[in-house]
Chains A and B, each alone.
Chain A
């Protein structure tokens, strides 16, 4: 086959090109021809097809994502915002923290182990590329029904992949979620988050400036895996049979190579050897070269035949599209190249000078001396198509909201209450996930202060001063289905509350927005509502969005997943010794319920567990109240007024109390407060609430603080004994609760 050079393309305008097979639409192909003033070469077509994919270009979502910048709250903490590999926030003492959550949903359904593993690998490289040492990962996961046979195929593979890759990198896994719902049956959500820490002066950005600077590709050799992963896989709906057709589109990871890449890159940063750096993830070299050039002065020349290959038969198009893992691309001044290569050699990392920055404005790629790409890099990286997709509130939304969960039959006796409590804590969504999280290393690096099942994961970042950061991820697709705007704010509020409950001050967020097909106006409406809700919520809470990821086409045939915004909130704590755990550890501690409890059961765990019901409206959101609750929790932590705190969310008060009792190995006696019935007290999911354990010596100081600042604080009981006793209603032993809570997941999956 003759090489499709730029010259050849200029002379053969009528050649048929496989733009449709590469996932491009006809008008997109026409636009490429217009930009270039000729037909694209095969290599150029490959680059545009991956970079203009939904996954890379955000073409359906970016008109909505703009709000995160337009409604950005004032924040002194933001150092780098949306658009870089990951956002960066100032956490004080000269430290900066970078963090992000991403999705690897489609690959993980097809090939659970490698899909999940490379999801971790990708997000870790994003963090590394900012100049930071990765210090922790988190994994928000969603699967189909817990008892469905395919869940037994997907979940163990995903968990083993996360563990197999993350454990081998030496990154503690400190949090995340596991949710089961049949809406995720054909579209599991495998999101992965990473936190990295650096000193301010170590911040690196992805740009190629300075003509004459060398472009170095280092890390693994390039292979035939993951070709078109972003365009064909992540940007198309699975067909109705759920059969993926592109198995090689899933990448294969090598965590050992990534560990070497991390250590090697950190040493290169320490010696200040790079002018710009970018990881290779989705869209591989197409993305790295075009983004580096586009963000810099514009010109770059690459000799593609110098790229080290695993498979010598790969074509230039395949090399440009390959998503082989564990690769990075750096821009290095000529006099620093020798030292750069020496450090790579020390770590047994292959490094190759593949090109240089030029003073032109074109990205030019050569193959054995012949020019195969000649494009304006911005047109590839930043000027992809923008769609204003039609959106419309689905006609079923009203009926869904009218189906009020408040009218469902409620337990009438103490015995029924007890029975439903046991059912609740044993349901796969509320049950202990230790069988899963015990497959992740949470101790490595020796800085883990809190890890799952705590409200937030917490990492010490300075051993001298005890400065630390905390992160929680949350998202409730059931709430978002009932009301996407409110659902997004509830996800934000819950993650914010979880971070505050651990004693840390929320600073900023990242989000992973998981939805069905943007070509469905109902899905697009959900997306529009969620982004609006999140942007408004972040503005009110003062926590800017630093970046994140959109995953669309999570749907099989006509059926989309619940809209599932997953929000990661990052917080800072000046002294991690002041952190607050969830465990009720000492008898005699007084239990206080903070916030207002209303009859709110729409989308609740109770409605799902007891009635298999989803309808009505989700709990009301009051972000001013969330902020006040957060301030109280943080002050009480700092000043030693509380020994434990646990946020109330799915499952309500009783779920939180059971978890705190089991964690501490103690019982509790609860009294239903005046004005509430036992059922609402135990199962309501009103937002803006937490339960805290207050030492008797601090009771007055704590209640005075709540009173002075106007936060309702109701004494509801005491830590005591070896059972959970709800006065006048029922008692249940810790042993019985523990068995119910801990047996479910192993029984389903082990």
Chain B
């Protein structure tokens, strides 16, 4: 028995096929979800993949958050559906208020594509249980609007509750406050990050590392043992 992991395609989503592949490599059953369809087709978890949904017009993630599929995802995420937002998906999650804060343009104003070192700060979420707290991993980072910001109170709260899930190591690539690369909600089912674990699941392609596979095996183990 395995779990069904859904990956949403919005107009302008780019990394949907990569996320589907990562789910398959981890041993899950990948399921494509379409932005106009409210039905989640009995998936056990959802990935919001990277890209430029709706061209990032208005603000990254601002339009997708109102799509029919998001209505169902927002509702079910609040009652425990595991959701992982990668890059543009993370931006959608903040716009949907499933995660606090927002993403601004990188402080150097350039798109940046590189192999990025991260520290896993919270290894208890639905998407990080296969890592150890404090473990250092490398996964590709590629974005234009990746600078995580929130007000001091929210940042303090995230820190105090252990909800900073990932931090940048070896140089902050975009000016994110407190080097934050990704965060989780209080329940640990909704996780968002700017770097791309789905691009680091095969030794043959990308950076040649498989450090990102743990996201997908974490959720699979949790769902299968539940």
Chain A residues packing against B (C-beta within 8 Å) = 160, 163-164, 167-170, 254-257, 259-260, 347-348, 437-449, 460, 463, 466, 576-577, 750
Contact = CB atoms under 8 A, between A and B. Distances in A.
B12 interface: yes
A66 B198 CA distance: 47
Nearest to A264: B11
A444 B19 CA distance: 11
Interface residues of B, number: 31
- Name which of B12, B114, B140 has the most chain A CB atoms within 10 A of its CB: B12
B214 interface: no
Given A168-B12, A440-B113, A444-B14, A576 B55 contact: no
Contacts of B15: 170, 444, 446
Interface string B116-141: 00000000000000000000000010
Contacts of A439: 110-113
Contacts of B55: 168, 254-257
Contacts of A254: 55
B142 A170 contact: no
Interface of B: 11-12, 14-15, 17-18, 21, 50-52, 54-57, 108, 110-114, 140, 142, 144, 196, 198-199, 202, 204-207
26 contacts: A160-B111, A164-B111, A167-B144, A168-B12, A168-B14, A168-B55, A170-B15, A255-B52, A256-B52, A256-B56, A259-B11, A259-B12, A259-B14, A348-B11, A438-B113, A440-B111, A443-B113, A443-B196, A444-B199, A446-B15, A446-B198, A448-B206, A449-B205, A460-B204, A466-B204, A577-B204
Given A443-B196, A449-B204, A576-B204, A163 B21 contact: no
Given A255-B55, A256-B55, A444-B14, A438 B114 contact: yes
Contacts of A443: 113, 140, 142, 196, 199, 206-207
Majority secondary structure, B binding face: loop
Contacts of B56: 168, 256
Contacts of B196: 443
A167 B142 contact: yes
Contacts of A460: 204-205
A446 B199 contact: yes
Nearest to A162: B111
B142 A444 contact: yes
Contacts of B108: 750
Contacts of A440: 111, 113
Contacts of B113: 167, 437-443
Given A444-B142, A446-B205, A438 B52 contact: no
A437 B112 CA distance: 9
Contacts of A442: 113
Nearest to B51: A170
A444 B18 contact: yes
Given A259-B12, A438-B112, A446-B21, 9 more contacts: A167-B111, A167-B144, A255-B52, A256-B57, A259-B14, A260-B11, A348-B11, A463-B21, A576-B204
A170 B14 contact: yes
